[in-house]
Amino acid sequence: MSEGVAVVAGAGGFIGGHLVRDLVEKGWTVRAVDQKPLDEWYQHLDGVQELQLDLRLADACAEAVEGTDRVYDLACDMGGMGFIETHKADCMVSVLIGTHLLLASRDAGVGRFFFSSSACVYAAEKQTSTEVLALHEQDAYPAMPEDGYGWEKLFIERMCRHAREDYGLETRIARYHNVYGPQGAYDGGREKAPAAICRKVAAAVRSGDHRIEIWGDGEQTRSFTYIDDCLTGTHLVTDGDNHDPVNVGSAELVSINQLVDLVEGIAGAQLDRSYRLDAPQGVRGRNSDNTLVRELYDWEPTTSLQDGLETTYRWIYDQLP
């Protein structure tokens, strides 16, 4: 028996593609929507309705959500720091997607609306040290998020809140922290650090040229969330009763140099490192405080970075020519 009809906006992307598959396995009838041409989607699944729609347009959003029970809004223009820092206006235009999807969901009587926010909403002044304190949900205010992409995410968080207060639309929000895994971008500028490092190490191993370029000094710190944990957290937040944003992220803090160490160990290689200090780096340090997600759902991500990277590295290695 079907759980109902769910729309995944951004289904052609990395997380969206995994979410579509997961929802189908859980018994949902899924309508997958993305602006990208179908041959550019990361995953396809038999029996899923796939629509290419520009969700920046109100009419497209109305078509996407008609006759559905649940909407997952993962659609936005984004990528790694190399993309985010050079496409701020493009990232901000995604406010149209969130706004039109919320209004269309209100008009269509959608039962629940999930919004994938980001750790980029957190105030920059709290992320200036590599030994950053883990970020609590309240640390998004006073507001000074990542320019462009972070402001877009924070704006739609507020729209979700007010759509619930004014229209009675049940909205749920997860703040994702650096999600990675197989079946995603690993080159071209939109990849995140784990995929980029896996690709660089794999390419060095394949070519025999044991050198790697690292953006920044390698001491900047992050936590990285494996895709399976991201999906578990997404379902807990969407199905739960909490209306406010919740961190969905690993608390395993590492430096970029340590990330390279781990991938080198998986590959059985040791590379000569050069550091590009003028490259985009983002904030100096960022980590997830998981107190709230533990209190609400008795859960936090469980996949170690070592285990997640091993799966990701093997997949990326097999994709390279």
Are the beta carbons of 74 and 19 closer than 8 angstroms? yes
Please state, in angstroms and rounded to a whole number, the distance separating the CA atoms of residues 159 and 55.
Answer: 16
- Phi/psi for 288 (5° steps) reads -100, 130
Nearest CA among 43, 45, 44, 64 for reference residue 53: 64
Q: Quick check: is 149 catalytic?
A: yes
Please state, in angstroms and rounded to a whole number, the distance separating the CA atoms of residues 71 and 125.
Answer: 33
Which residues pair with residue 30 across a beta bridge? 6
Radius of gyration of the chain (CA): 19
Give the number of other Cβ atoms within 10 Å of residue 219's Cβ: 14
Nearest CA among 301, 210, 300 for reference residue 264: 210
The distance between the two most distant Cα atoms of the chain, rounded to a whole number of Å, is 60
Are the beta carbons of 80 and 189 closer than 8 angstroms? yes
Please state, in angstroms and rounded to a whole number, the distance separating the CA atoms of residues 191 and 193.
Answer: 7
Catalytic-labelled residue, pool 72, 122, 149, 180:
149
Query: Which residue reads 């919004």 in tokens?
Result: 115
Burial code of 171-202, b = ≥16 C-beta within 10 A, e = fewer? bbbbbbbbbbbbbbbbeeebbbbbbbbbbbbb
Residues serving a catalytic function are 149
